[in-house]
Structure 1
């Protein structure tokens, strides 16, 4: 398999940002408050962090041709990095475990609204 070019990586990055924006708007329409986006820490990253009531959701966004491919795109090791990042982020901002933490997946597929898989993964 050929190595991706700088141009193709930039295009993929732009598509990812667009999918994250679409997912954030979708969550806001569902009355979630977006607390942070594109959180990058030494231990990993989280695409979106959202809150609704007592739920604190750490959301991974994947854009693929099908929902099934979105679901397959995040291996367990990635979820573990997301969980470590979530703990660090929440600790720095004073969010305690008294909120119901959840790890969600939002699948962005062509010609449809995003699909929100709530509580998709558990540490």
Structure 2
């Protein structure tokens, strides 16, 4: 898969994840927030919870099992640490989630995957 195709697939997955989150009652606060430390794909709030979400999109469900690792999670966590004060309200629960996307399947939402 070319870099351009991978970029298109990733953006499609992020749009699908945002749509799915909205159906679950989340409000999308921001998308594709880039920091020197890493990138946060989606930032969402529902009630008193602010979630910083890494979206991984693959062409097959089997490929999703290898889509995330400690290195990628550390980069997301570092980016969250740099920007969380801009998005989370006082008293909010802050967490890092992952949404796994593959064609012809429901999104898989993994909640609170990072514990420092």
So what's the TM-score if we normalise by structure 2? Answer: 0.89
Q: Which runs of 5+ in 2 are unaligned?
A: none
Listed one character per residue, the Cα deviations across residues 73-101 of structure 1 (whole Å, up to 9, x for unaligned) are: 1211211111111121122x263563111
Q: Do the aligned partners of residues 71 and 33 (structure 1) sit closer, same or farther apart at CA in structure 2, a change above 3 Å counting?
A: farther
Hey, what does 1:77 align to over in structure 2? 71
**Structure 1: distance between partners of 2:87 and 2:39:** 19
Which residue among 34, 43, 53 is the counterpart of 2:37? 43
Task: Report how many residues are paired.
Answer: 115
CA distance in 2, matches of 1:82, 1:96: 20
Alignment of 1:58-77 (within 5 A): 58-64=52-58, 65-66=60-61, 69-77=63-71
Q: Cα RMSD over matched residues?
A: 1.8
**Is residue 27 from structure 1 mapped to residue 15 from structure 2 by the alignment?**
no
Distance of aligned partners of 1:97 and 1:86 in 2 relative to their CA distance in 1, 3 Å threshold: farther
Structure 1: gaps of 5 or more residues: none
Question: Is the contact between residue 77 and residue 114 of structure 2 (CA under 8 Å) also seen in structure 1?
Answer: no
* TM-score, with structure 1 as normaliser: 0.84
